[in-house]
Structure 1
């Protein structure tokens, strides 16, 4: 009997010692987890400054800085249809680098490039879908058309003589216009640029006849009369442009085209950190000031969960794989 009691005492004492030895390590680990981020977070934007990506990224970064307790700074790194920044993010091991995911980089590039130095599914983790941005179809103010029907008639009368610009092969603007060409049967030449900013410079100067651009980047130019919006890619008319019909209204039922932007992280980032950023994104996209700023530029804030964003990316990849194949889109 006494021997049994002594055994129990020994076991209990040993267990207490083991627990006391492990506890500091557990507390240290928990503290390290709670302390993240320990330095500013770099948000890579895989495009040149001046487009919708800039507006969405900076709106999110400002609010995330508050919720995470560290500065989130935006770094534009354009090139190779966004693949340069994507490769850098995928290879990052500092635990403080994320990237602005986009319809082009996440849902199109995997199908227009024969080989990429990264895998969008294996090398990245989804964080949150930030916003959807309506695609607007515009022409230079000197082009003699007032709406999409007149533009189609002009393009058919001058096949291959009109051109449109985009932020680059595989960019949202490229996809949007190729989608329009497929729906309408017109032939308009594509002129790729390195970013929305350079493209807009030539569009405003009259060196391009047309383009499809995210609403935030060009709404001011439309209201100033420098560009003419001939149709929107949305399901319904935009409150900011109530007199402009949608492509669907213009004789092509079911047509819809919007850009989208989310946040993605390298695959090595702990899920706890991913979830914390996602929570911050949800708060950011619900913040009254950020929401007003985005909606003022026609961007539609979302801020969903990693699982919801992952499902959305899958759906978009299926959709645009077909468009890429039919339009025979190839990289520069």
Structure 2
């Protein structure tokens, strides 16, 4: 996957702040709905609520969270894409926000054409984690154990085609491992299952398993991305373990239905930059494993194109489908 340099990501919110204020005298004129494609308490929900609180102050009208979980995030994303009231936005993640149509050609929307990028709110690396009862302490031992115990390991994700699913599926294919994928409706559900030992393995957004890793409820083996996490400084990068993982992040994006006026999108992106650069918000999100961003629309659009180019061939080569 083409890397998005961290220094560019960090600089972009300030660029958004420097943009001239755009007149929005007539919008919104009533409450705005933000459809979140995952349940309350999930990482997209946390980021969405941080943005919504600022939007309400900036625009003078309520921004109401509407959690629409299911379909690995596609139900909420499609509801955003189909909204025509002019007062609906959406927050979703990579997968339903990027490569969902490649995964399922019968899907009722295409995120590349039917979702208008507004702002990349946050990103975080993926943590490759196991239940502590799995007798491995690093990636090499995991590969060896899975090879010696074909069919023994079940790995979870928030749905077929999610970044966590594809990261593990591609690793299994590369090493010739036989493991079973079990999709769940939400990140909290999948985390509950790995802590309970009903699944053995998952690659989850860092914020979702940070507390469990610190408490010893899961064992973090490695993380994706380009730098070690300050919150888990002893956990190596996947690249340090000899595995692909550079530039791979779970991410959370703010979207609008197609056709929202460009000046409105620009103002929303500008305010998202302000929301995510607020020191108190930043500290809260960073403690949860996020890298707060709040970028202009173009960067989220470029990220989507990058994911299509990276994951599309893998989906086709491994024949990953919604029921995978």
TM-score relative to the length of structure 1: 0.85
**2:223 maps to which residue?**
232
Distance 1:167 1:105, change over 3 A: same
CA distance in 1, matches of 2:245, 2:121: 25
Q: What CA distance in whole angstroms lies between the structure 2 residues aligned with 1:227 and 1:98?
A: 35
SS of the residue corresponding to residue 101 of structure 1 reads strand
Query: Of 112, 115, 118, which residue of structure 1 is paired with 2:106?
Result: 115
Which of the numbers 261, 268, 276 marks the counterpart of 1:270? 261
- Stretch of structure 1 that moved more, 170-179 or 95-104: 170-179
Return closer, same or farther for 1:225/1:314 CA change in 2, 3 Å cut-off: same
**Deviation, structure 1 residue 239:** 1.1
Superposed displacement of residue 255, structure 1: 4.3
CA shift for structure 1 position 97: 0.7
Q: How does 1:101-250 map to 2 (within 5 A)?
A: 101-250=92-241
Residues of 2 paired with 1:100 and 1:232: CA distance?
24
CA displacement at 1:230 relative to structure 2: 0.8
Query: Structure 2-normalised TM-score?
Result: 0.87
Larger radius of gyration: 1
Which residue in the other structure is 1:298 paired with?
289
Contact 1:98 1:263 in 2 (8 A): yes
Contact 1:126–1:306 (CA<8 Å) still a contact in 2?
yes
For residues 296 and 26 of structure 2, what CA distance do their matches in structure 1 show?
A: 22
1:94 aligns with 2:85: yes
- Return the offset for 1:94: 1.6
Return the alpha-carbon distance in structure 2 between the equivalents of residues 197 and 298 of structure 1: 15
- How much has 1:123 moved relative to structure 2? 2.4
Write the deviation string for residues 116-160 of structure 1: whole angstroms up to 9, x where unpaired: 222323322111111111100111122221222211111111022
What is the count of residue pairs matched by the alignment?
Answer: 301
Task: After superposition, give the CA deviation of every residue in 1:212-256 in whole Å (9 maximum; x if it has no partner).
Answer: 111111101111111110111122211111111111111226644
In structure 2, what is the Cα distance between the partners aligned to 1:317 and 1:253?
A: 17
| 260 and 254 in structure 1: CA distance in 2 versus 1, 3 angstrom threshold | closer
Distance 2:252 2:52 in 1: 13
**CA separation in 1, counterparts of 2:80 and 2:291?**
26
Structure having the larger proportion of residues in helix: 1
Pick which of 246-255 and 41-50 moved more. Answer: 246-255
User: What RMSD, in angstroms, separates the aligned Cα atoms of the two structures?
Assistant: 1.8
Structure 2 Cα separation of the partners of residues 108 and 140 of structure 1: 29
Structure 1 unaligned residues grouped into runs of 5+: 1-31
1:107 is paired with a residue whose SS is coil
Aligned partners of 1:51 and 1:196 also within 8 Å: yes
Moved more, 179-188 or 217-226: 179-188
Deviation at 1:203, TM superposition (A): 1.1
1:251 paired residue number: 242
**Structure 2 residue 65 is the aligned partner of structure 1 residue 80:** no
* Among 309, 313, 322, the residue aligned to 2:313: 322
Distance across 1 between alignment mates of 2:306 and 2:163: 16
